[in-house]
C-alpha cells in the first residue's frame, strides 16, 4: 500500500508539473471584436522585433538573449491566437519574462491575464494604467468610462509593476523605455527600443493610441484629455523613430506594407512618428470643433 501510494504521489507530481497550457478567459463581446480578432500570420518586422498579434490588434514580441518581452495582449479571445503565433514564429511563450501594456482597455489588455498565467511574466505599465489593470475596471477619468464595466471591463491582472515615465524595462539584454503619452487614457504609455540586424540599428516606437475616442456624453472640451493628447502628440513626434508601430495595425498601415515587402522593408520610415502625431492632432481638432470649441 505504501508503495502504491508513492506511485500515485509521483504520478500526481508529474501531472502537476507537466507542460503549461493557455487557460483563456471568456470572450469579449463588442461590435468590432470579430473583425479585430481575425488571424494574422506572425512575421519579423526587423531584427529582434516580431508581430504576433491579430489582424486588427497589435501584439509584439521582442527577442532577447535571455528572455522574451511581449507588448499588449489584445482581447480575451486574442490570447490563444497570440500564443499560437509566438510558437509559429519559433519561440516558446514560457520564455516571456515581461509583458508590457500600452493602455488598459479591454481590446489591448483583455488577453494579458491569460498570457500572464501561462508565462508567469511580470506585467509593466504606467502608474495610472496599473490601477486599472489590477482591477479590470476603468476609472472615472477615462474618456470611455461612461460605457460601463459590462462593455469595457476585462480580467484583472496580478503582479503588475507601475513604471515611471522614461524608466526602462531590461530583459535579456534588451532595454525598453516607457514614455508616458496620456490622453486616449490617463495611463497611456508608448514604448521604445533599439532593433539591430546586419550591423544596422533602428529605433522602434510602439506609439500608443492618440485618438479622441470616448463614451457617449464625454466632452473633450470639458476635461484634461484634449490638452494631454496635444502634449503626447508632441512627445511622440520628438522621439527618435525609425520604425513606427501602434496598438491598432491599421494606424501604421500594416497590411499595405506587407504587400510590398519584396521592395525592401517598408516599416522603416524616419518621419512616420511625426505623421502619426500630426494626423492625430487633425482628428482631435475635428472632434473639438464638433463639440463647439
Mean pLDDT of the chain: 93
How confident is residue 156, by pLDDT bands cut at 50, 70 and 90?
very high
Mean pLDDT of 249-274: 96
Q: Which of 235, 111, 107 is nearest to 182 (CA)?
A: 235
* Domain assignment of residue 48, given as a range: 41-290
Closest CA to 243 of 276, 212, 210: 276
User: Would residue 244 count as lying in a domain?
Assistant: yes
Catalytic sites, residue numbers: 103, 105, 107-108, 184, 218, 248
**Region of 148 on the Ramachandran plot (φ > 0 left; ψ -120 to 50 alpha; else beta):** left
pLDDT digits (tens, 9 = 90+) for 25-41: 999 999 999 999 999 99
Exposed, middle or buried: residue 139 (CB in 10 Å: 0-12, 13-18, 19+)? Answer: middle
20 or 259, higher pLDDT: 259
- Return the pLDDT at 3: 47
Tell me which residue has cell 503582479: 159
Q: Is 31 a member of any domain?
A: no
Say if 3 falls within a structural domain. Answer: no
Q: What is the pLDDT of residue 115?
A: 98
pLDDT at 226 over 70: yes
What's the average model confidence in pLDDT over 180-190? Answer: 98
Average pLDDT over residues 211-226: 93
- Which residue shows C-alpha cell 523613430? 241
Residue 141 lies in a domain: yes
Residue 83: inside a domain, yes or no?
yes
Average pLDDT over residues 116-142: 96
212 lies in a domain? yes
Instruction: Compute the average pLDDT of residues 191-213.
Output: 97
82 SS3 class: helix
Strand ranges of the sheet holding 60-64, from the earlier edge strand across to the other edge: 43-46, 49-51, 60-64, 67-71, 96-100, 122-125, 160-162
**Alpha-carbon dihedral angle through residues 159, 162, 166, 171, given to the nearest 10 degrees:** -10
User: Model confidence at 190, in pLDDT bands (50, 70, 90)?
Assistant: very high
User: What pLDDT, on a 0 to 100 scale, did the predictor assign at position 148?
Assistant: 60
Predicted TM-score (pTM) of the model is 0.92
Q: What is residue 15's predicted lDDT score, i.e. its pLDDT?
A: 45
Domain count, the chain: 1
- Are the C-beta atoms of residues 42 and 86 closer than 8 Å to each other? yes
pLDDT in the model for residue 123: 98
What average pLDDT does the segment 155-167 reach? 97
pLDDT band at 153 (very low <50, low <70, confident <90, very high): confident
Domain CATH number, residue 229 = 3.60.15.10
**So what's the pLDDT on residue 19?**
72
Tell me the H-state helices in 37-153. Answer: 78-88, 106-109, 112-119, 127-133, 149-152
Question: Residue 50: inside a domain, yes or no?
Answer: yes
Check residue 5 and give its pLDDT.
56
* Residue 5 lies inside a defined structural domain of this protein: no
The pLDDT confidence band at residue 176, using thresholds 50, 70 and 90, is very high
Residue 237, SS3? helix
Amino acid at each position: 500500500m505504501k508503495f502504491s501510494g508513492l506511485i500515485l504521489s509521483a504520478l500526481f507530481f508529474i501531472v502537476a508539473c507537466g507542460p503549461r497550457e493557455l487557460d483563456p478567459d471568456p470572450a469579449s463581446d463588442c461590435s468590432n471584436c470579430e473583425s479585430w480578432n481575425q488571424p494574422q500570420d506572425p512575421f519579423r518586422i526587423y531584427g529582434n522585433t516580431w508581430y504576433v498579434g491579430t489582424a486588427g490588434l497589435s501584439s509584439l514580441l521582442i527577442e532577447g538573449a535571455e528572455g522574451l518581452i511581449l507588448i499588449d495582449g489584445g482581447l480575451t479571445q486574442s490570447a490563444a491566437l497570440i500564443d499560437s503565433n509566438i510558437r509559429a514564429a519559433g519561440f516558446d511563450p514560457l520564455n516571456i519574462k515581461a509583458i508590457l501594456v500600452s493602455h488598459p482597455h479591454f481590446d489591448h489588455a483583455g488577453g494579458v491575464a491569460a498570457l500572464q498565467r501561462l508565462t508567469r511574466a511580470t506585467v509593466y505599465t504606467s502608474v495610472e494604467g496599473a490601477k486599472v489593470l489590477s482591477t479590470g475596471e476603468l476609472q472615472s477619468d477615462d474618456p470611455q468610462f461612461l460605457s460601463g464595466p459590462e462593455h469595457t471591463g476585462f480580467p484583472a491582472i496580478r503582479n503588475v509593476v507601475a513604471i515611471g515615465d522614461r524608466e526602462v524595462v531590461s530583459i535579456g539584454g534588451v532595454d525598453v523605455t516607457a514614455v508616458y503619452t496620456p490622453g486616449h487614457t490617463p495611463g497611456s504609455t508608448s514604448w521604445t527600443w533599439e532593433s539591430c540586424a546586419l550591423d544596422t540599428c533602428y529605433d522602434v516606437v510602439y506609439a500608443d493610441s492618440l485618438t479622441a475616442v470616448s463614451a457617449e456624453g464625454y466632452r473633450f472640451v470639458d476635461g484634461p484629455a484634449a490638452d494631454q493628447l496635444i502634449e503626447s502628440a508632441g512627445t511622440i513626434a520628438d522621439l527618435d523613430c525609425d520604425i513606427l508601430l501602434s496598438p491598432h495595425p491599421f494606424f501604421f498601415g500594416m497590411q499595405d506594407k506587407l504587400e510590398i515587402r519584396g521592395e525592401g522593408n517598408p516599416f522603416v520610415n524616419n518621419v512616420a512618428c511625426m505623421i502619426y502625431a500630426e494626423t492625430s492632432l487633425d482628428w482631435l481638432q475635428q472632434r473639438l470643433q464638433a463639440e463647439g470649441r
